[in-house]
Amino acid sequence: MMRISRFCSPEELNKLMQQIGVDPYGVRIMLPKAASLLIRLKGVNNFAANILKQEMLALGADAALARAALTGKIKKTDMLLIGQLAQFKLLADKLKVQPFGLQKIGLDLKENIKNFNENNFTVPLNRGSLRLGARTRIMGIINLTPDSFSQDGLYRSFSNNYPDLALSKAQTLISEGADIIDLGGCSSRPGAKSLSTREEIRRTEPIVKFLAKKIKVPISIDTANAQVAQAALCAGAQIVNDISGLTDKRMIKVVARHKAAVVIMHMLGRPATMQKNIFYESLIDDIAGFLRKAISAAQAGGVHPDKIIIDPGIGFGKTPLQNLAIIKYLSDFRSLGKPLLIGPSRKSFIAKVLGSDKTERTSATIAACVLAAAQQADIVRVHDVGQVSQALKMVEAVKNVMA
């Protein structure tokens, strides 16, 4: 009897080899041989590219590059390296003594492969920790705004029992499966107007302080304003969710001072203008480049490396097709070595796919979250926690089955 399978995850392959009784040492040796990778390099020196091609062939792997680079007609070329994890590890060692910038490529290769294969993270919090990797966690959204795009802002119900409304909402989300509660007092929808610092603090600080005494899951403050983050962290928040990607250096100082965790998100421009003049040379590469620089700046400013989470920013300066591409290629961001958060919930690209702005978006949000989980999302940020939680439980159940 013969059975053919597409490549499975290292965890699944490990279980398969255990099932047939492979020696543990043999498992360790063979796992890297079964992990196939496709690595894209940009702007490689022509001399280095030809050497890389020969080294890959010598290892039994291959490399694709521009035809003009082989003939010497161009000075630089992009490349695709096609091989197994074990072959790339050997390549990185061989490049240590090579000229034409290959030594740096080798070092970058080793670091990026290490990051790409990291599946488990523990994010230290001031109270406890957030363990990521075993399953996709859920960040439940509470909008403390009157103008949320999803029409769920609690601020429109502002009254003496406003804190109780927020608590009831938080308790419901937690009972449905939320691992984090994300509070935001300033709308970030396309075209949103700016809000005064005083008003944003007035909307958020009392609620953070109230909820921090009532709920056990960590509270995240969704803000790009360092003063708002400062007030929320003093009130009991443990995570800053910054849609501006720490472009305000004062935010780095606030996060570092409070030893808080932080979500660094990519956004093109500002909410008021982000959907105008959208342009990327290479969508995934450009976003990854932004996030890499932001990570470096955060760590240089005193933010602990283990406290950083990254978000490619669905809906923030992207076309509908680009939002779909982010979901499809989400796992490519794992080479940055940080946990991945994604927030597709109820966003306008869903309406574009479905063909109507009036169509209910919950089912499509669930589908987007399931696809993101399959692409190794560590956290999904959603409004409809109960439905998404059920869908992700099914994802985990299927993923853990062996046949």
Q: Are 284 and 332 in contact (CB under 8 A)?
A: yes
The type of residue at 98 is Q
User: CA separation (Å) from 257 to 151, 224, 228, 233, 346?
Assistant: 35, 16, 14, 10, 34
Distance of CA 380 to the CA centre of its chain: 9
- Say if residues 101 and 48 touch (Cβ distance below 8 Å): yes
Q: Are 61 and 32 in contact (CB under 8 A)?
A: no
Q: 3-state DSSP call for residue 121? A: strand
DSSP state of 345: T
- Annotation says 202 is catalytic: no
Element holding 219 (H helix, E strand): strand 219-222
Match 């100082």 to its residue by tokens.
Answer: 253
Task: At 196, give phi and psi (nearest 5°).
Answer: -65, 150
Q: Say whether 347 is catalytic.
A: yes
Positive or negative, the CA dihedral 167, 173, 174, 180 is negative
Of 95, 139, 120, whose CA–CA distance to 11 is shortest?
120
* Beta pairing, strands 76-84 & 36-45: antiparallel
Find how far residue 234's CA is from the centre of its chain: 26
Q: How far is CA 11 from CA 28, 113, 333, in A?
A: 12, 17, 20
> Which uninterrupted H or E stretch holds 40?
strand 36-45
Distance (Å, whole) CA 329 – CA 327: 6
Please state, in angstroms and rounded to a whole number, the distance separating the CA atoms of residues 243 and 7: 36
The amino acid at 238: Q
Q: Catalytic: which of 347, 358, 393, 399?
A: 347
Q: Which of 209, 381, 393, 399 is catalytic?
A: 381
- For residue 101, what is the DSSP state? T
**Which positions are catalytic?**
347, 381
